[in-house]
Structure 1
């Protein structure tokens, strides 16, 4: 198995004041079944990452929808609570009026009661 190979191409000697240059071409070559196994493992990891990403996106979308439904339900519940509170206040006012009328009526009856 050959890991590194290089070739050097000769260049003419530099002019005075120039530095010499060397052109190195490096390459890595690895062959055999281990490369195929690494490629397969990388492809499998990419496939699994894609599946996990799709699942995460699905869960995020479901969570977003559930949040929207929860917000809608909260607003509906708040509206119902406010209506119920208003009805209770109206009932208290009616009770107070009825109690006042009853006292007035009793006092009127007492006032206009025939004496024997």
Structure 2
């Protein structure tokens, strides 16, 4: 397993011709035992290929801060969503309560209207009955039987 993890961390690096102070000097190219044509020197690039095993770099502070910020942002968004859901539930409960109260008021108003209508109908019937009684009384009274008495002198008159 160690070989596999080391193998995964191998990287290939291309170095330019200018050596850095931290890297070792590249071997001369071409090797001295190889025939070398100096006329093509300006056409070739001096590249060195090296394979090295580098340790895993710990995450930088910037990337850690980004992760923390992203996590905080995600948590803040979750909290905000939860808060909006909570407020929506409260508003829904309030709306349902108002709707229930409105429904009860409507039922009460309808029952009062029905009661008022029945009272109006009874009053109308009583007025009609009183008018019928009056008409019957006028029709049944004989005009010759009517006597009028003066209240001041107590004298009786007939029409």
Question: Which residue of 2 is the match for residue 47 of structure 1?
Answer: 79
Larger Rg: 2
Structure 1 length normalisation: TM-score? 0.68
Question: Which residue of 2 is the match for residue 113 of structure 1?
Answer: 144
Give, in whole Å, the separation in 2 of the partners of 1:80 and 1:68. 18
Question: Which residue of 1 is the match for residue 90 of structure 2?
Answer: 58
Which residues in structure 2 correspond to 1:12-23 (within 5 Å)?
A: none
SS of aligned partner of 1:113: helix
Which residues in structure 2 correspond to 1:78-89 (within 5 Å)?
A: 78-89=110-121
What runs of 5+ residues in structure 2 fail to find an aligned partner? Answer: 1-6, 9-57, 147-157
Which of 117, 120, 135 lines up with 1:103 in the alignment?
135
Higher helix share: 1
Give, in whole Å, the separation in 1 of the partners of 2:136 and 2:143. 12
Aligned length: 89
Question: Which residue of 2 is the match for residue 74 of structure 1?
Answer: 106
Q: CA deviation at 1:68?
A: 1.0
Give, in whole Å, the separation in 1 of the partners of 2:86 and 2:144. 87
Give, in whole Å, the separation in 2 of the partners of 1:113 and 1:40. 109
Q: CA deviation at 1:36?
A: 1.1
Runs of 4+ in structure 1 displaced over 3 angstroms? none
Structure 2 length normalisation: TM-score? 0.51
